[in-house]
A = this chain, B = another copy of it.
Amino acid sequence: MGLPRYNIPMGFPACGEIENYLHRHIPLSAAMGVSVVEAAADGVVIGAPFEPNLNHQDTVFGGSASAVAILAAWTLVNFRLRKHGINGRVVIHRNRMHYEKPILARFLARTEPTPDDEWEWFLGVYRRMGKSRVRIRCVLECDGERVARMDGHFVALK
């Protein structure tokens, strides 16, 4: 599976800064030991270690897998707003997860590209109405293989 590198625009927070923000403001992200591997307005990759996210069967707990995917998608929506100079808050409205394979090691949540016209609609509606919605898809990977997928609908509010 290819690992695209995203351009991080000048002036945007580095991965370490975002990681600190998440750990400070969302205590569960620290408990899960997440790290921000890549972060840009085009895509976000968040990694999570195995041990803190285990279940009783020594595979990753489904609740951890979905929480890491939600974090990656949420971070992407924030980045995209920031790229356009918008300081809205972002909340999740709904999401679906498919757990395809047991996760047996460190894993990554990688957002999938959202089409440009969906971003344009999202930003246009936000500017007119002060509120908008966007759908973000993520894949979870472990050892280069897809192990789960998530899609979530996020709402941005003034």
- Chain A contacts to B: CB under 8 angstroms: 21, 25-29, 31-32, 51-57, 59, 61-64, 66-68, 70-71, 74, 89, 91-99, 102
**Measured CA separation A6–B56 after assembly (Å):** 25
**Measured CA separation A52–B26 after assembly (Å):** 8
Number of copies: 2
For residue A89, which residues in chain B have a CB less than 8 angstroms away from its CB? 57
**In the complex, are the beta carbons of B28 and A61 less than 8 A apart?**
yes
**In the complex, are the beta carbons of A28 and B27 less than 8 A apart?**
no
For residue A91, which residues in chain B have a CB less than 8 angstroms away from its CB? 57, 59, 62, 99, 102
Contact partner, A94, options B59, B94, B99, Cβ 8 Å: B99
**In the complex, are the beta carbons of B56 and A21 less than 8 A apart?**
yes
**In the complex, are the beta carbons of B53 and A28 less than 8 A apart?**
yes
Residue among A21, A51, A54, A63 with the highest chain B CB neighbour number at 10 A:
A63
**Measured CA separation A23–B92 after assembly (Å):** 27
